[in-house]
Amino acid sequence: MKALDTNILARYLLGDDLRQAEAAARLLESGERWFVPVTVALELAWVLRSEGVAKTDVITAFRHAQALPGMAWQFAGEWRQALAWAEGGLDVADALHLALAGKCEAMLTFDERFAARAGREGARPEVVLAGE
């Protein structure tokens, strides 16, 4: 199994460099086994958003990439939960942070919007404002 860097997935999903997008497609659609570290996936979410991709399209892109044959995503279950929470309104990165903190009793933050949205999603662990 070989690990993928963010740029392989980004070129595949964005298609913004035809030569690299075609090479990425050949790799990812080859049926080989690929490992996607959680850090690469989180950076990919940031790259897609910074390129102007709407959050709903980021979620769709992640689901597409995760469904490719041979893909092994680190913390795949947490990613599924994070994408569900992101569909409900959480930022993708915040949702992943929260999903990875799943065994904790609470997640502390100063971000009031994050706490409110997580509460509406019924997220566990609970997101609470620090100092309250």
pLDDT value at 125 more than 90: no
Question: What integer pLDDT is reported at residue 132 of this predicted model?
Answer: 62
The domain tally of the chain equals 1
Flag whether 128 is in a domain. no
119 touches 97 (CB < 8 A): no
13: its two tokens: 């999903």
Q: What is the pLDDT of residues 49-92, one digit of tens each?
A: 999 999 999 999 999 999 999 999 999 999 999 999 999 999 99
How buried is residue 23: exposed, middle or buried, by Cβ count under 10 Å (0-12/13-18/19+)? middle
The answer to pTM > 0.85 is yes
Flag whether 123 is in a domain. no
Residue 33: which domain range? Answer: 2-74
| Amino acid (1-letter code) at residue 40 | V
Q: What is the DSSP string of 5-69?
A: -HHHHHHHHH--SHHHHHHHHHHHTS---EEE-HHHHHHHHHHHHHTT--HHHHHHHHHHHHHST
